[in-house]
Amino acid sequence: MPCENDTAACAEITIVRDSPKDTQTRQIVVYLDGENKGELMFGFSMTLIIAPGAHTLRVDNTWRHQDVQLELHPGDHVRFRAANAASQLSWFLLGFLGFGPYHVSIESVPPSP
């Protein structure tokens, strides 16, 4: 990775999991270019320092996944919010059975002023 010795040549991706729509259950697994980078539980975040270029960011709750295609330049710091969300049927199943299918989502977060 060309930015290992020069952090100014790096790009960063931060993924947070703090959405009020989140069910606050089940982990979300984060992949970058097919490589598992870790799991996010509700209330946590992770920052990945990577080489600039084209990348695929995937969030996966083991039932569903969503991908984002990125083109990053040196010094870029992009932010995303990931969440597990439940439909009406899912909430019913959660209450009745204790589990149900969730939809995973990832959305871009605007930079802080």
66: domain CATH number?
Answer: 2.60.40
- Any domain includes 49: yes
- In the block, tokens 């729509």 appear at 21
- Any domain includes 103: yes
- Residue 24 above 50 pLDDT? yes
- Any domain includes 2: no
- Any domain includes 77: yes
- Any domain includes 81: yes
The total number of structural domains in the chain stands at 1
- Any domain includes 33: yes
Integer Cα distance of 31 and 12 in angstroms: 14
User: What are 31-80's pLDDT values in tens digits?
Assistant: 999 999 999 999 999 999 999 999 999 999 988 899 999 999 999 999 99
Integer Cα distance of 11 and 8 in angstroms: 8
- Any domain includes 1: no
Domain that holds residue 21: 7-109
- As a whole number, the mean pLDDT across the chain is 86
Burial 24-43 (b: 16+ CB within 10 A, else e): eebbbbbbbeeeebeebebe
- Any domain includes 11: yes
> Which residue has better confidence, 22 or 4?
22
Phi (first) and psi of residue 99, to 5 degrees? -155, 165
